[in-house]
Amino acid sequence: MSAWLEIKDLHAKVGDKPILNGLSLSINAGEVHVIMGPNGSGKSTLSNVLCGNPHYEVTGGSVIFKGKNLLDMTVEERARTGIFLAFQHPIEIPGVSMATFMKYALNSQRKAAGEKELDAVSFMKRIKIRSQALEISDEMLKRPVNVGFSGGEKKRLEVFQMAVLEPDFCILDEMDSGLDVDAVKVAGNGVKIMRSPQRSFLVISHNIKFLKEQIMPDKIHILVHGRVVAEGDQGLLDKIDRSGFSEYQKEAVA
């Protein structure tokens, strides 16, 4: 029985620069995994490659998600299969309100799944329940996507989108970076609410406290030079907290 998400020997580059050099890892349904590693080790590249960002070129390996070859799919096909990326730096779309954006996203996903588009009332209901839980005001939903929001608000809106779209696999890229303590809590709460046996998470973060208190992962992967060099349970977090990545970096170079 193969895992729910299986990444095998993944190679990828940006321009001429190889970033992922044979990365392998697997995640089962309902699990929460964490990716850690020094700057430039390929964490964000991994999240972008999984989502199909055309800026990154896959040069080898495979990614199987729910039995499908992810690498053969377009960006939106992957999204419609249930992959969601909470962006490290959410992108501004002037003139398009968050509510409109979610309506388009949700309906295009439903259409792809052969479901009926949501009418205005059911859509608003779906939005409202989630926005209230995440302390997102109606005014925020009317404003254009990510334009003029603080870092914390943007991250909260990423969690909100995740809650609305109900994906099967969530990648959180530096969800907690640049947030104050309260905002980290709101973000973490969002993840807690979303956890379910049918949903897996891949969390990229440096913040040991955030990971231990809010995320409580099942497994931790240490990424160095585009490869997984160590794996473990929450105990590994304490080890990293004490001595950082230097031990792994040496190994990787050697």
Q: Which residue has the tokens 């588009």?
A: 117
Looking up tokens 């779209």 gives: 165
Binding segment toward another protein, per CB under 8 A, in 4-12, 32-40, 103-111, 223-231: 103-111
Nearest Cα residue to 41 out of 246, 254, 243, 232 = 246
Contact status: 53 vs another protein (CB under 8 A): yes
Q: How far does CA 146 lie from the centroid of its chain?
A: 17
Question: Rule CB under 8 A: is residue 15 a binding residue for another protein?
Answer: no
- The pair of three-digit structure tokens given for residue 204, joined into one six-digit string: 């990229």
Q: Which of 4, 65, 84, 245 touches another protein by CB under 8 A?
A: 84
DSSP β-ladder status, 57-65 and 68-69 = antiparallel
Which string of x and - marks every residue 147-166 that binds another protein (by CB under 8 A)? --------------x---x-
Residue placing its CB nearer to another protein in the complex, 98 or 237? 98
234 near another protein, rule: CB under 8 A: no
Q: Contact at 8 Å (CB) between 32 and 218? A: yes
Interface with another protein in residues 108-137 (CB under 8 A): 108-109, 112
In angstroms, give the least distance from the CB of 236 to another protein. 29
Write the CA distances from 217 to 75, 138, 165, 220, 248, integer angstroms: 27, 32, 22, 7, 21
Establish if 49 lies at the interface with another protein (CB under 8 A). no
Give the binding site for another protein (CB under 8 A): 51-55, 74-76, 78-80, 84-85, 87, 90-96, 100-101, 104-106, 108-109, 112, 144, 161, 165
